[in-house]
Structure 1
Amino acid sequence: MEKILEHIYENPLFSFTILLLVVLILPPIFEKFKLPGLVGLLVAGVLLGQNGLHLIDPKSETMKLFSDIGKIYLMFVAGLEIDLKEFKKTKDRSLTFGFSTFIFPLITGVLVGRWFGFSWNSSFLIGSLLASHTLLGFPIVQQLGKVKNRAVIITVGATIFTDISALLVLAVCVSIHQGDFTPQSLVWQLVTLAIYSAAVLFGLDWAGKEYFRRTGDQEGNQFLFILLALFIASFGAELINVEQIVGAFLAGLAVNDVLGGGPVEEKIEFVGSTLFIPFFFIGMGLLLDVPTFIETIQSDSLLVIGIVGGLILSKLVAALVIKFIYRYQWDEGLTMWSLSLPQVAATLAAALVAYETVNANQERLINESVLSTIIVLMLVTSILGPVLTDKFARRLPTPKANLDIIPEVDTPSEHSTLSEVFTVVVPIYNPRTERDLITMAALLARYSSGIIVPLSITPAHTHMDDPIQDLGLQNSRLLLDRALAISQEFAVETKPIIRIDDDVANGICRTAKEYNANLIVMGWSANTSFQARLFGNMIDKVFWSSHCPVAVMRLLKEPMNIHRVLIPVKYLSPQIMHIIRFTQQFAQTNQAQVTLLRVCDRKTPKAEMVTFEKELSQVVEQLQPTIEMTVRTIRNDNVAQAVLQVSHDYDMVILRSMRRRTVAGLAVSDVTTQLLKKLTCSVVLFGEPHNS
C-alpha cells in the first residue's frame, strides 16, 4: 500500500490533477469572502506542501516547471496589459510619475534593509521589490468609467518605467551576488541588455505583424506564434545572463501592439489566468515555511512594519509630489497612490528569483524572513489598494458626454445606393428563433426605411458535389424562404443571401462588410464550456471581427409584444449612447417605454447622483424623434441584484457587451455575466466594433 501511495505522489499526473482541482475550487471561495483569489492559491500551496498534507513536493521537476512557466507568463501578461497607445499620449508625465513612484520606494527599501543589517546589494534588491506595482485596482476604475482621467492614464503608463527599472535592478543585484560583477561587466551587461531589449521590442513587433498579416484568421497558429515568441524572449534573456522574467516582460510589450486586444490576446490571457499563473502562486505557497513565516511576523515584526509601512508611505509621497507638480486634485493624487500600491506581479516574481539565487557560499540573495515579509506585503497591498481605489476613484469627475458622436439614422432618398441604406444583416441558423429575429430586424429597418439581409451560412465541404453540401444548401433555402415571407408582413425590402464558408462567424462578418451593414442581429446561444472559453464561440468571434454593431438577442416574447425596455447605465460613454440610439429605433416603431437605470452604491454622494441624472436627461431630451424615456437612479451595493429586481417589471433588458480584462492574469468578476445567467425576461447583448 505504501509503495502504491509513493508511486501516486511521485506521478506528475497526480500533481497536475491536484493543481487543477485547487485552481477550480479555492479562488471562488476566497472571492466570496471579499479576498483576492490569489490568497486562496497561496493558502492551498501551504496546505499541499511540507507544512501540510505533503501531497506535492516543491522541489519536484514537475512543480519547478509549472512554477517557472507561471512566473514567466505572469510577467508576460503584465507587459500585455500596458496600453502603449495611451502611454505615448502622456509619456512625459507617465515617465515623471514612473520615476517618482520608483525612486522613493527604492530609497525607502534600501534604508530599511541597511537598518536591519542587510548588505548593500540585498538592500537595493529589497528596494527594487517595493518600486514596481501591479494595477489590481484598474478594473474598479473601468467599472466607474474613470479610465480616461489624466491621473489614471499616467499611472497606467508609469507601470512601464517601474517594472523595467525594477527588473533591471534585479538583474544587477543577481549578478553581484553570484560574484560575476565588475564595473566593466556592469557596463557590458547594460549595453547587452539595451541591444537585446531593442531586438525583442522591434523584432518581435515586426515579426508578429508580418506573421499575423500572412496567416489571416488562423488563430490557432497565431496563438502558438505568441507562445513561441514568449519563450524565445525568456530563453534569450537567460543567455545574456539576465533573468527570464525580464525577457518575458519585454515580449509582452513587444506583441502588445500586434495583438491589439483581439481574440488571440483573450485566449493567451485565459490560458495564463486558468492554468500557469495560478500554478505559480501555488508554488509560492509550497515554498512558504509556515513556522518561519509565523516567527518572522512575531520576532521580525519591525522588519514587516518597516517594509509594509515604508512601501505605503513612499508610494503616497511619490503620488503627492506629482500631484503638486502638475496641480492635480487631491482625489486624483490619492487615486494614483492607491493604484500604485498593490505589489503582486513583478514583486513576487522578482522575490522568488532573489530567494532562489545563491552564491558560492550557498547564501541566498534574500532570506526566508524577507520572502515571508514580501508575501505579507502582497497580502496587505492587494487588499488595501483596491479598497482605496474604490474610495478615491469614484470621486473623480465623470467624463462629460459628447453628444456629437451619437449616430443619426437618416431616411434614405430615392437615389440612395445600397451603401447608403440602413442595412440589417440577420444570420439564420435556428428555425425556432427565426421569426422573432426577422421581426426585430424588420422593425429596426422599417424605422429608417432600410433593408434586411437574411443570411444563411452553409459550411463548406472539400468537394462541392458532396451530397451533404447539397443538403446544407437546401436547408438554407428553406430558412431564407421563411425569412422572406416573414419580412413581407412588415413591408420591408429584403435581400436573402446564401453563403458557403469554412467559418460561420467569418462568413457573417464578411457578408456584413460586403453589404456595408449598419447592424447585425443574431440569436442567443449560451456556450460556457471550457472549449468555448478557450477557443471562443461564434458570438465571441462575430463581436471581435465585425465592422458594425452586433445585437445578440434572447427573445422570450414576440418583438411586437415588447413594450417596456430597461437599459442599465454605468456612465455616459459613446458605447452607451449607441445603445440608446439603437433602443430609440426599436421603441419608435413599437411604441415602447424605455427606462435608463443607474445603480449607485450607498457611498455615492447625492450631488454626483443628481449631476449624472441631469446629464442623462439632457441626452434623452436631445434625441430626435422623441420617445417616452425616463431616467431612474437607485442605491444598491449589489449592481446585478438591483438590476434583477427592477427587471421583473420589464419585457426586455439591453446590456452592453464589455470585454473583461485580467489583472496579472487573474480574472475579475463581471456583472453582465451574472445578469445573463439570471434574467428571466428578453435580453439583448449589444456589442460595438472592436476599434470603436
Structure 2
Amino acid sequence: METLVLVLQEEPILSFALLLGVILVVPLLFEWLRLPGLVGLLAAGIALGPQGLNLLTAELPTVQLLSDIGVVYLLFVAGLEIDLEQFRQTRNRSATFGFFTFAIPLLVGTLIGRFFGFGWNSAVLLGSLFASHTPLGYPIVSRYGLVKNEAVLVTIGGTIFTDIASLLVLAVCVGIHGGEFTIWSLLGLLGSLLIYAAAVLFGLDWLGHRFFRRTGSEEGNQFLFVLLALFVAALGAQWIGVEKIIGAFLAGLAVNDVLREGPVKEKIVFVGSVLFIPVFFVDMGLLIDLPAFVQTLSSIWLMLAILVGLSFSKYSAAQLCQWLYHYTPAQKLMMWSLSLPQVAATLAATAVGFQVGLLNASVLNSVIVLMLVTATLGPILTSRAGAQMAMQEEQAQLTPPVDPAQEKPRPPQDSYVVVVPVANPETEQNLLEMAALLAKHEQGRIVPLSVATGHVHMDAPSLQASLEHGEYLLKRAVEFCQQFEVQVTPLSRIDSHIAQGISHASREQKASLIVMGWSDTTGLRARLFGNVINSVLWATHCPVAVARLQHPPHKLQRILVALENFRSQSARSVRLAQILATANQAEITLLHVCPSGTSEPDRHWLEAQLTALAEQPSPASGSRLEVKVLVSDDIVKTLLKEAEGFDLVVLPSFRRRNRSGGLSFSDVTTEVLERLNSSLVMLGEPLELGQ
C-alpha cells in the first residue's frame, strides 16, 4: 500500500486516472442505491483519503490543481445560473427579499457563532454561510409551469443579492484575518473590491460581446475566451487581496448576457460538471476528519443550532415578504423552499474559511450535514408548494379548465403538416403510420424528410451515397403512405448538420408536428455534443413527438396518457392519444399522480380536471376514456407500475433551457424515459418565452 501511495505521489497521471474512475463509477452506484451522487463523491474522498485507504491526499498536485479549478468553476456556474432577464422583471421586490434572506440569516448565524465561542470575525463568516442559497427546486417549479409566478421570480432574483453579499462578507473576513485590521484597510479593501467588480462586470461584458460578434460561429475560440475570462477574473481577485471564488462568480455574471443559451454555454457547464466540480467534492471528502466528523455528530448541539438557525431565518425572510406583498401561504412555502438549500456558494465559502483557519473542523462537518439535509428537504418542500400553487392558479381561472378545441385556433384543413425524418428503415414504417393517422384526421399532409450532411466538395462520393440512400428511403416512405390515402410530399435537402436540416425544413414547410424515432441520449458523445433529438427539441418551432413504437399504431389496444400538470398544452397529448385510438377503438386512460399531502377537495378538483379533458368533444369516436388520480410521493414508481399492461404511454413534457444553460425536461420525465420498457411517445412542447 505504501508503494502505491508513493507511486501516486510521483505519477500525477495515475492519481488523475483514479479520480476519473471515482467520478465515473461512484455517483452511478449511489444513484442506483437511491442516494445523491454528491454524497458518493464525499464518501469516496473519505474512503480514499488519510482516514481510509490513504491513496489520495489534498496535498497531491493533481488534486490541488483540479480542486482549485473546481471551486472557481462552481462559483462561475452559480453566476451563470442567475437569470438576469427574470431579475430585471422584479428587481425591486427581489432586492427586498434578497435583503431579508441575507440580513436575517447573517444575524442569526453570527449569534450562533458567538454563543459557541467563536470570535467576531469567524462568527460573522459563519453567518454569511447562512445567507446564500442555491435554488435546487427550480426544475420542479418548471414542471408545474410556475416559472412566471411572481414569488418564484422574486426568489430567483434574490439569489443575485444573497450570493454577492455573502461573498463580499467572505472577502472582508478573510482580508481581516490575513493582516492588521484598521478601518482604513477595510475601506481600502472595499474600495478596491468595488472598482474590481465594476471592471469585471462591465469590462468582460463589453469585451465578450465584441469578441463573440467577431468570431461568429467559432465555438472553440468562444469556449477558450470564456475559460480565459474565468481564470483571469479569479487571479485578479487574488491580486487585490480577496478570494478567487469572488472573481469567478463575478465572471459568471459578466458573461451571462454574452453566452445566453446555446452550445458554447452547454459545453462550458458540461466540462465543469463532469470533471472539475466533482473533483472539488472529492477533495472536500479528503479534508473531512472522520473521527472529528463522528464527534461532531455525537456532539450535535452546534449542528442542530446551524440547522435550526438556518431554517428559521430563511422562513422568517419568506414570512416577511408574504406580509409585505400579500403572497399566499403556498407562495411563502415556495420562497422558503427555494432559498433553503445550501450548496454552491455555501460549500465553496466554507472550504475557503476552513483553509485559511477562520472555521474549524466542527463547522466544516456541520455545513456538510447542512448541505445534505437542505438539498434533500428543499426540493421536497418545493414539490408540495408547487402542487398547491398550480391548483390555485388553475382554480383562479373562471373559464372551464382545459378545452382542447379552444386552446389554439384550428389551422386551415390544408395547413396541418407532419414532418417525419427518415433515416432508419427498421423504425420508419411505424413512425410513418403514426404520422399518417394524425395527418389524415386533420386533413393535412406528410412530409417525409431526408437530410444529408454537407461537404466542402459537393462531388464527394460519401455525399452522393448519402443522397442516394435518402432517395431510396423517401421512395419507400411514399409507397407506404399511399395505403392511408393521405397527401405525401417527400423532401430531400443538404445541410451542415442533421438536426439543423430538420429544424430548417420544418420551419420552411410550416410544420404542425415533427415525428421522430428514439435514439440514444445517455452516451458520452451525446452528453458532450448533444444528439439529433436534443438539438431539434432545442431549436424547433412546433411540438415534437419522439416515439419508440414496438408495434404498429393500428395494433394499439390500451393507451396511457400520464399528465404531470394541467397546462392547456396538455390537451394536445390527449388529442394525439385519441386520434391513435381510432384505428381499433383502443382504450385511453388519463392518469395524474399527486403528492400524499394533497387534500381531499384538491383531489376531487384534480379528478374534475381530468374528467373535463375526457368529456371534450372527442376526435376519436368510440374510444373509451378512463380517469385516474392516484396519491403517491414516489411519482416515478407509481407511473411505471401503472404503465404495466398498456401498449403505449404518452408522456407530455415541456422542454426548457435550464439554469445551467442546457436543455432539460422535468426530473419525472427524465427518470420515466430511462426506466420505461414499453412503447412510448414523448410529446415535447415548444419552449415557452421566459423559461
**Would the TM-score normalized by the shorter structure come out above 0.5?**
yes
Which of 511, 520, 537 in structure 1 is aligned with 2:505? 511
Paired with 1:161 and 1:11, the residues of 2 have a C-alpha distance of 44
Which of 600, 604, 608 in structure 2 is aligned with 1:610? 604
Which of 554, 560, 581 in structure 2 is aligned with 1:560? 554
Paired with 1:85 and 1:630, the residues of 2 have a C-alpha distance of 42
Q: Deviations over 1:635-662 (max 9, x none)?
A: 3443333333333443322223455888
Paired with 2:358 and 2:163, the residues of 1 have a C-alpha distance of 20
Deviation at 1:54, TM superposition (A): 0.7
Which of 492, 495, 498 in structure 1 is aligned with 2:489? 495
Once the two structures are overlaid, the 10-residue window that deviates more, 164-173 or 189-198, is 189-198
Equivalence map 1:11-160=2 (5 Å): 11-31=11-31, 35-160=35-160
Paired with 1:2 and 1:15, the residues of 2 have a C-alpha distance of 14
Change (3 A) 1:621 1:257: farther
Paired with 1:545 and 1:213, the residues of 2 have a C-alpha distance of 21
Give yes or no for contact 2:421–2:449 (8 Å, CA) kept in 1.
yes
Give yes or no for contact 1:78–1:252 (8 Å, CA) kept in 2.
yes
Residue 470 of structure 1 is matched in structure 2 by 464
Q: Does 1:646 align with 2:642?
A: yes
Once the two structures are overlaid, the 10-residue window that deviates more, 364-373 or 121-130, is 364-373
Paired with 2:30 and 2:346, the residues of 1 have a C-alpha distance of 22
Q: Does 1:676 align with 2:673?
A: yes
Residue 370 of structure 1 is matched in structure 2 by 363
Residue 408 of structure 2 is matched in structure 1 by 407
Give yes or no for contact 2:261–2:657 (8 Å, CA) kept in 1.
no
Q: Deviations over 1:114-145 (max 9, x none)?
A: 33333322221111111111223334444455
Residue 689 of structure 1 is matched in structure 2 by 686
Deviation at 1:479, TM superposition (A): 1.4
Paired with 1:131 and 1:485, the residues of 2 have a C-alpha distance of 65
Give yes or no for contact 1:442–1:490 (8 Å, CA) kept in 2.
yes
Once the two structures are overlaid, the 10-residue window that deviates more, 135-144 or 607-616, is 135-144
Give yes or no for contact 2:105–2:309 (8 Å, CA) kept in 1.
yes
Change (3 A) 1:222 1:424: farther
Change (3 A) 1:177 1:426: same
Deviation at 1:402, TM superposition (A): 6.8
Q: Deviations over 1:59-114 (max 9, x none)?
A: 12211111111111211222233333332222222221111111111112222223
Q: Deviations over 1:29-78 (max 9, x none)?
A: 44456543322222221221111111002112211111111111211222
Deviation at 1:678, TM superposition (A): 4.0
Paired with 2:277 and 2:588, the residues of 1 have a C-alpha distance of 44
Change (3 A) 1:665 1:295: farther
Residue 227 of structure 1 is matched in structure 2 by 227
In the alignment, residue 514 of structure 1 is paired with which amino acid?
E
Deviation at 1:338, TM superposition (A): 3.1
Q: Deviations over 1:134-157 (max 9, x none)?
A: 223334444455544443332222
Which of 509, 527, 531 in structure 2 is aligned with 1:537? 531
Residue 398 of structure 2 is matched in structure 1 by none
Q: Deviations over 1:536-579 (max 9, x none)?
A: 11111111121222112222222233354321101112442343
Change (3 A) 1:492 1:229: farther
TM-score normalized by the length of structure 1: 0.89
Paired with 2:262 and 2:403, the residues of 1 have a C-alpha distance of 28
- How large is the Cα RMSD of the aligned pairs? 3.1
Give yes or no for contact 2:606–2:629 (8 Å, CA) kept in 1.
no
How many residues end up aligned between the 2 structures? 678
Deviation at 1:492, TM superposition (A): 2.5
Deviation at 1:171, TM superposition (A): 0.9
Residue 167 of structure 2 is matched in structure 1 by 167
Give yes or no for contact 1:108–1:310 (8 Å, CA) kept in 2.
yes
Equivalence map 1:416-495=2 (5 Å): 421-495=415-489
Give yes or no for contact 2:514–2:542 (8 Å, CA) kept in 1.
yes
Paired with 2:209 and 2:646, the residues of 1 have a C-alpha distance of 47
Change (3 A) 1:473 1:18: same
Structure 2, unmatched stretches of 5+, are 395-400
Residue 330 of structure 1 is matched in structure 2 by 329
Deviation at 1:598, TM superposition (A): 0.7
Deviation at 1:248, TM superposition (A): 1.9
Residue 311 of structure 2 is matched in structure 1 by 312
SS at match of 1:565: strand
Once the two structures are overlaid, the 10-residue window that deviates more, 558-567 or 207-216, is 207-216
Give yes or no for contact 1:407–1:581 (8 Å, CA) kept in 2.
no
Paired with 1:649 and 1:292, the residues of 2 have a C-alpha distance of 53
SS at match of 1:53: coil
Give yes or no for contact 1:107–1:127 (8 Å, CA) kept in 2.
yes
Give yes or no for contact 2:653–2:682 (8 Å, CA) kept in 1.
yes
In the alignment, residue 330 of structure 1 is paired with which amino acid?
P
SS at match of 1:135: coil
Once the two structures are overlaid, the 10-residue window that deviates more, 256-265 or 433-442, is 256-265
Paired with 1:657 and 1:264, the residues of 2 have a C-alpha distance of 25
Change (3 A) 1:308 1:252: same
Structure 1, unmatched stretches of 5+, are 358-363, 414-420
In the alignment, residue 276 of structure 2 is paired with which amino acid?
F
Paired with 2:211 and 2:269, the residues of 1 have a C-alpha distance of 20
SS at match of 2:227: helix
In the alignment, residue 410 of structure 2 is paired with which amino acid?
V
SS at match of 2:683: strand
SS at match of 2:686: coil
SS at match of 1:396: helix
In the alignment, residue 426 of structure 1 is paired with which amino acid?
V
Paired with 2:577 and 2:209, the residues of 1 have a C-alpha distance of 38
Paired with 2:149 and 2:666, the residues of 1 have a C-alpha distance of 23
Paired with 1:89 and 1:663, the residues of 2 have a C-alpha distance of 17
Once the two structures are overlaid, the 10-residue window that deviates more, 572-581 or 616-625, is 616-625
SS at match of 2:494: strand
Deviation at 1:221, TM superposition (A): 4.7
Deviation at 1:205, TM superposition (A): 4.2
Give yes or no for contact 1:595–1:632 (8 Å, CA) kept in 2.
yes
SS at match of 1:489: helix
Q: Does 1:241 align with 2:241?
A: yes
Once the two structures are overlaid, the 10-residue window that deviates more, 401-410 or 60-69, is 401-410
Deviation at 1:230, TM superposition (A): 2.7
Q: Deviations over 1:195-238 (max 9, x none)?
A: 44344334444555555556565555544443333333323333
Residue 397 of structure 2 is matched in structure 1 by none
Give yes or no for contact 1:600–1:635 (8 Å, CA) kept in 2.
yes
Paired with 1:623 and 1:255, the residues of 2 have a C-alpha distance of 50
In the alignment, residue 409 of structure 1 is paired with which amino acid?
R
Deviation at 1:488, TM superposition (A): 2.4
Give yes or no for contact 2:402–2:613 (8 Å, CA) kept in 1.
no
Paired with 1:198 and 1:622, the residues of 2 have a C-alpha distance of 57
Paired with 1:54 and 1:253, the residues of 2 have a C-alpha distance of 39
Deviation at 1:194, TM superposition (A): 3.4
Q: Deviations over 1:482-517 (max 9, x none)?
A: 222223223322222221223111111111122222
